[in-house]
Amino acid sequence: MSAGRYAPSPTGELHLGNLRTAVLAWLFARSSGRDFLLRIEDLDQSRVRPGYAEQQAGDLAALGITFDGEPLVQSTRRDRYDEALAGLTADTFECFCTRREIAEAASAPHRTPGRYPGTCRELTEAERAERRKTRSPAIRLRGGATETAVDLLHGELVGMVDDVVLRRNDGGAAYNLAVVVDDAHSEVDQVVRGDDLLDATPAQARLTRLLGAPVPTYAHVPLAVNAEGVRLAKRDGAVTLSRLAERGVDAAAALTMIAASLALAEPGEPVTIMDLSARFDVARLPREPWVITGRPG
């Protein structure tokens, strides 16, 4: 099988930027003859809110986005993540750092901000045994060296693999592990998502190889931003389908806004997602963020 997917976290309503990424993921998949799958990324229970998974699915359907098969729900797959991790012991290590320790160590001179500073990478078994007495460890990927992947918009991605967290210290599977295990399980070979995840790609490509699966082709698409150039958020006003509906802008009109932002329709032109599919051309996609202004309240 060959498939693309959209993988939202049910932590709130999808906004126009999220919906645009979903439309693009659907267009990339369908125009290349792939299946299109929905995955519900609900592992972080502190952020998940009841009802949003259903509302998100309804909003995607209102735009005409169709999915194959049943959604894959991450919270039902914890055993699969544990199994995958159990096969990776040679490529992982226990990490006892608190967030604060990492922030402090990472801000020291000659460190790359945002990257794990390596504190626990070479602990001896005795040191680990000692630390386990006071704190349960997270599990990190043993990163280092570069990894490459192909991106349909950015070309060849080459990046250093960070020691990303695979299991949190509360025992839960972390995003980077779940996303790779699930894409491999679902035979996803095309990953279209926001370009805020570009930096996560080398580690995910490495992990995919370690799990013995083929690395997908990626397309990291530009995000939507507000008038200040900051990534769009729900507080930016009428940027969700429900808020737009209150102002008389229905899902069809929202699809037109998204299509116009992708240069696939004229402003105000009625279109269906099938029309967009016929017009879709990767080479002509805008590479800049979508600036959404003038929709306060």
- Minimum CB separation of residue 179 from ligand GLU in Å reads 5
Could you say which of 30, 140, 167, 193 contacts ligand GLU (CB under 6 A)?
A: 193
Q: Which of 3, 4, 8, 237 binds ligand GLU (CB under 6 A)?
A: 8
- In whole angstroms, the minimum distance from the beta carbon of 191 to ligand GLU comes to 6
- Return the residue of 102, 106, 197, 213 that touches ligand GLU, per CB under 6 A: 197
Q: Which of 13, 41, 189, 236 binds ligand GLU (CB under 6 A)?
A: 41
Q: Residues 228 to 257: which contact ligand GLU by CB under 6 A?
A: none
How far apart CA 261 and CA 244 sit, in angstroms, is 17
Helix, strand and coil percent figures for the chain, each rounded to 5: 40, 20, 45
For residues 179 and 181, what is the distance between their CA atoms, to the nearest angstrom? Answer: 6
In the complex, minimum distance from the CB of residue 201 to ligand GLU, in angstroms, rounded to a whole number: 9
DSSP 287: -
CB of 133 to ligand GLU, least distance (A): 35
Q: Who contacts 172 (Cβ-Cβ below 8 Å, separation ≥6)?
A: 43, 44, 78
Q: DSSP readout, 78-139?
A: HHHHHHHHHTTGGGEEEE---HHHHHHHHTSTT--TTS---TTTT--HHHHHHHHTT-PPEE
Question: Which candidate, 255, 249, 296, places its Cα nearest to that of 275?
Answer: 255
Positions in 152-181 near ligand GLU (CB under 6 A): 179
* Span interacting with ligand GLU, options 7-15, 45-53, 74-82, 166-174, rule CB under 6 A: 7-15
CB closer to ligand GLU, 231 vs 295: 231
Distances (CA, A) of 170 to 44, 124, 163, 174, 294: 11, 22, 18, 10, 43
Q: How many CA atoms lie within 13 A of 195 on its CB side?
A: 16
Q: Which stretch binds ligand GLU (CB under 6 A): 2-10, 71-79, 128-136, 263-271?
A: 2-10
Q: Residue 211, interface with ligand GLU (CB under 6 A)?
A: no
23 binds ligand GLU (CB under 6 A): no
- The candidate with the shortest Cα–Cα distance to 201, out of 131, 154, 169, is 154
Q: Is 7 among the residues that bind ligand GLU (CB under 6 A)?
A: yes
We find the least distance from the C-beta atom of residue 105 to ligand GLU, in angstroms, to be 27
The footprint of ligand GLU (CB under 6 A) covers 7-9, 41, 179, 193, 197
